[in-house]
Amino acid sequence: MIRKFATLTAAAALFAAAGAAHAQEAAIRKALAERIPQLPKIDEIRPSQIPGLYEVRYGGSEIIYSDAKGDYLIQGALIETRTMANLTDERIDKLTSVAFDALPFKDAFTIKQGNGARKIAVFVDPNCGYCKRFERDLAAIKDVTVYTFLLPILGPDSNVKSRDIWCSKEAAKSWRAWMIDGVAPARTMGQCDSAALERNVEFARKYRINGTPALFFEDGTRKPGALPQAEVEKLLVAAAKK
């Protein structure tokens, strides 16, 4: 009987806590909606690591912080001083993580090198100097399949070149010819379904791919920038082991 009573008491406490949390969230939502009508739709409100401070998330992965009444907002990073960990960045990384198998491969073209056993996905802009340097290193890596997502974010000419490459008969060859040999892709004439480029830009916006090149490995590791060939090789080896 005592054990049953204790179980019921614990359940009641959990129910009460859940109700209080819901009421707290509702109060913050109401205050922010009334006082900041231009604030985008809030996706989630949850307690932060600091008692009395709440994480307010909107736009998928945009984060600000509020007190329990929505009277005050804080914009910036939450730092844990014992380890100097950036808790805000860690949270955003978790929110924007992408399982390799969940990448939209239909919007990429494939380059197979050697047996293609290992895999890497890259988001790149045809006018990105770092991407050109990285492509030369990437072309020298053995036994890898490269999924290339064109991400035209550096201006109107990036859109033109991306479309010309995507719509060419052999996108992979056209891409490498431009990035490595400097041979501009032939201009696309007539109709071509280049909606994949728009989807790539939207995907990048959603998952905070803010620069090129951006690299994704099979184990979920995500790296920004033109990594040295040796570093890419190490990451490919590590990803293959998991």
Same domain, 28 and 119: no
Judge contact between 70 and 28, C-beta under 8 A: yes
121 and 230 inside one domain: yes
The residue among 76, 95, 114 that closes a domain is 95
Please indicate, yes or no, whether residues 110 and 86 belong to a single structural domain of this protein: no
Residue 168 DSSP symbol: S
pLDDT tens digits for range 203-233? 999 999 999 999 999 999 999 999 999 999 9
Mean pLDDT of 69-98: 93
Chain segment 140-165, per-residue pLDDT in tens: 999 999 999 999 999 999 999 999 99
Instruction: Provide the residue range defining the domain that includes 72.
Output: 2-95
- pTM higher than the cut 0.85: no
| One domain for residues 57 and 141 | no
- For the chain, percent of residues with pLDDT exceeding 70: 92
Residues 234 and 123 in one domain: yes
Separation CA 241–CA 220 (nearest Å): 12
Q: What are phi and psi of 136, to 5 degrees?
A: -65, -45
Residues in the chain: 242
Task: Work out how many domains the chain is built from and give that number.
Answer: 2
Provide the CATH number for the domain around residue 76. Answer: 3.10.450.70
**Do both 209 and 237 map to the same domain?**
yes
By C-alpha distance, which of 148, 204, 160 is closest to 185? 160
Residue 58's nearest CA partner among 95, 21, 24, 23 is 95
**Domain match, 226 and 209 both:** yes
Q: Are residues 36 and 72 in the same domain?
A: yes
What mean pLDDT is predicted for residues 70-96? Answer: 94
